Amino acid sequence: MSEAPQPGPAGPLAGLRALELGSFIAASFAARLFAEFGGEVIKVERFRGGDELRQWRLMHGTTSLLWRTQARNKKSVTVDLQTDEGRDLVLDLVRHTDVVFENFSPGVLERLGLGFDQLKQVNPRVVLVRISGYGQSGPNADRPGFGSVAEAFGGMRYVTGYPDLPPVRMSVSIGDALAGLFGLLGALMALLDARRTEDEGGTPQGQEIDVALYEAVFATLESLVPDYEGYGFVRERTGNALPGVAASNTYRCADDAWVVVGANADRPFHRLMRAIGRPDLAEDPDLSHNPGRIRRREEIDALVAAWASARPMAEAMQALVEAGVPAGPVYSAEDIAADPHYRARGMLEPHTVDLGDGDGPRTISFPGVVPKMSSTPGGVRWLGPELGEHTDEVLGGLLGLDEARRRELREQCVI
């Protein structure tokens, strides 16, 4: 079971309501951020089983901690979208909704009778955020596309890893998270535009926001294609080094811990050279700017690697921090959980949850809310809910369906 709701700040999105359709991560991530900052999110789940994310990384019980994290502050309502009655319930919810987030394949909403045209008929101001692998148009629109595929098609996998090894993925669903961020950004811009239109005496209209997973990935790859078309340079996998800059790499310390150094700007580079006992290189005019350092990157990397390998990570970090060099340890989950800076910043929030392992409820640290806002901060009011936990509350309170009607819908397996 999830913990009881906790009071929290209203948040800047208080008074706005979103309907979340679909499953897995991308649309869910956008809706999670919407809910963390005060918006009400009603998540529509499948009648049987619910969102498959409930079972991802599940080690005990029936509900994963990934779900508890991704669905926090959301209300779970079970509705069978394949039925006419279920579709009508969703349309009734849309009448009371500002934003709809979905990540079905293109065309699915239309086949369900829930396309943008149908949503606008019941709520002309509704904003529909659509997240899919390849977008709602183009020759690949009908292809299935998860975040992993988008990371490959979007160019990220090609440049990630070491040159003598196959392309690798990040250990998180980065493509889905990026698409979710762009989706939420689009929704907020559409809401802002509607408010501006209304303030100017116009009639605000809803918008359809089309986010392709691969485009969200591609948008973060800096000058990947301009460098190719302008210079004929195809960026390849370079391991932990950052192409085109020095010194920036990951170095092994004497205790087999790792430290990341990002001294790729002029002044940090000079500080780094002094910290490792090479003031002569700090004063070398050939190394005063990045183009010269790139020509001698292997030499510089070897010097920093040798310095780091001669001392434990804590000693290396102390020297780098005291010298004003951007550097950080490579942290595991265990390291993060023990770090005082994380706790001081509220990034490890304690919540009580029953893991279903027979040991009863316990306190677990969950990620804090980002970004930090001085006047209207976000917050976590409750963890991801049980399947259908809020069906009666939403259908009875928001739509006014009495107990007899809800019982009838349950008997028909609509809710």
Q: Which residues pair with 41 in a beta bridge?
A: 18, 74
- pLDDT tens per residue across span 221-276: 999 999 999 999 999 999 988 888 888 999 999 999 999 999 999 999 999 999 99
Q: Please give the C-alpha separations between residue 39 and each of 31, 56, 319, in angstroms, as whole numbers.
A: 9, 26, 45
Tokens, residue 384: 């991801």
Q: Residue 6: its pLDDT value, please? A: 65
CA distance 143 to 11: 38
Is the pLDDT at 39 greater than 60? The verdict is: yes
Task: Look at residue 189 and give its three-state secondary structure.
Answer: helix
CA atoms within 13 A on the CB side of 329: 19
pLDDT digits (tens, 9 = 90+) for 244-256: 888 899 999 999 9
Tokens found for residue 220: 């973060």
pLDDT at residue 1 tops 70: no
Cβ 259 vs Cβ 327: under 8 Å:
yes
CA–CA dist 42, 394 (Å, integer):
8
Domains detected in the chain: 17-220+342-411 (3.40.50.10540), 248-252+258-329 (3.30.1540.10)
DSSP 236-292: ---TTSPTT-SSEEEEE-TTS-EEEEE--SHHHHHHHHHHTT-HHHHT-GGGSSHHH
What is the per-residue pLDDT for 246?
84
Beta-bridge mates of residue 78: 45
pLDDT-above-70 percentage for the chain: 98
> Strand order in 248-252's β-sheet?
248-252, 258-262, 327-329
92 is catalytic: no
Burial letters 218-234, b for 16+ CB under 10 A, else e:
beeeeebeeeeeeeeee
- Chain mean pLDDT for the chain: 94
E-state strands within 184-247: 208-212
Mean pLDDT within 298-323: 97
What per-residue confidence (pLDDT) applies to 4? 60
Of 51, 80, 98, 176, the catalytic one is: 176
Question: With 90 as the cut, is the pLDDT of residue 70 above it?
Answer: yes
pLDDT per residue over 45-66, tens digit each?
998 889 999 999 998 888 999 9
Helix (H) or strand (E) holding 176: helix 174-199
pLDDT of 386 higher than 60: yes
φ, ψ for residue 126, nearest 5 deg: -65, 140
